Amino acid sequence: MLLQQTELEARFNLARSLAEEGGALALEYFNRRDALVIETKRDLQDVVSIADRDVEKRIRERVAAAFPGDGFLGEEDGYKAGASGYTWVVDPIDGTAPFVNGMPNWCVSIAVLHGGEPVVGVIKAPCHDELYAASAGGGATLNDRPLRLDSSRTVQNAMTGIGANSHVTPETVADIVNRLLHMGGNFIRNGSGALMLAYVAAGRLVGYYEPYMHAWDCMAGYCLVKEAGGWHHAFPTAGDSLTKGAPVLAAAPGATADLKALAGLS
């Protein structure tokens, strides 16, 4: 199915307004977080609350009303296939651990896929009042300011984001950090993989690597990084792989070779 500019623009506009709306709703919960009941999912570090479910529900309803033929994958409520060729991939709150613990590093992440590729990527970080937005061929922006990566930034002269969850062993994570440090790099983890991918697009980080993440964590960030002039590892989308985990890696031009070697990816 061919990507039509008007169809893309209509979804890009909706994604931006839903990131703002979802972000405002999440921020209301964040400001009243003492009243939230925190539940755990896979383990004690994997948390969720009504805020995550409510934000996803709002975005799902709005998308279904505007584009009833589009597919939708959300972290909290799963996958519903569509017939239009477009699929929305949404993490209502990425960085739920910082969110429930009162830290500002969380965001609403919205991507739209076409032909398996993220063609829209919008990330809203309400505590920082930042909206990152990109669409295929249209470039990436932060609060409407164009983003363009600087190729003089490398693993050695900038910071790399590293993420980890209980899908991978402590030894694997320790080995990644060890090898990054031996390359002359350094690492940071703020608790939101999606936001750190947006930071790669903004040139704040030179790359982001996490050995196992889901499509809702990375697709919006991938579109942003690509449109800012960076590279990302392809996330598998064929069959049911869209709902499964995969390695996530994105990098600025001057760090791509080093980070591919670090992750053992091509």
Distance, CA of 215 to CA of 187 (rounded, Å): 23
68 in Cβ contact with 61 (< 8 Å): no
Among 70, 217, 227, 258, interactor with Ca ion by CB under 5 A: 217
Kindly tell me which of 93 and 120 has the beta carbon lying closer to ligand IPD: 93
User: Of ligand IPD, Ca ion, none, which one sits near residue 126, judging by CB under 5 to 8 A according to partner kind?
Assistant: none
Residue-by-residue DSSP string for 209-256: EEEEE-HHHHHHHHHHHHHTT-EEPPPP-SGGGGGS-EEEEEE-GGGH
Among 91, 210, 227, 258, interactor with Ca ion by CB under 5 A: 91
Least distance from ligand IPD to the Cβ atom of residue 169, Å: 14
Kindly tell me which of 248 and 255 has the beta carbon lying closer to Ca ion: 248
> 182 Cβ partners below 8 Å, 6+ apart?
none
58 in Cβ contact with 77 (< 8 Å): no
Distance, CA of 153 to CA of 228 (rounded, Å): 14
Q: Which residues bind ligand IPD (CB under 6 A)?
A: 91, 94-97, 163-165, 191-194, 210, 213, 217
User: Of ligand IPD, Ca ion, none, which one sits near residue 192, judging by CB under 5 to 8 A according to partner kind?
Assistant: ligand IPD
Kindly tell me which of 42 and 145 has the beta carbon lying closer to ligand IPD: 42
Kindly tell me which of 67 and 222 has the beta carbon lying closer to ligand IPD: 222
Q: Is 46 helix (H, G, I), strand (E, B) or coil?
A: coil
Least distance from ligand IPD to the Cβ atom of residue 227, Å: 21
Site residues for Ca ion per CB under 5 A? 75, 91, 94, 217
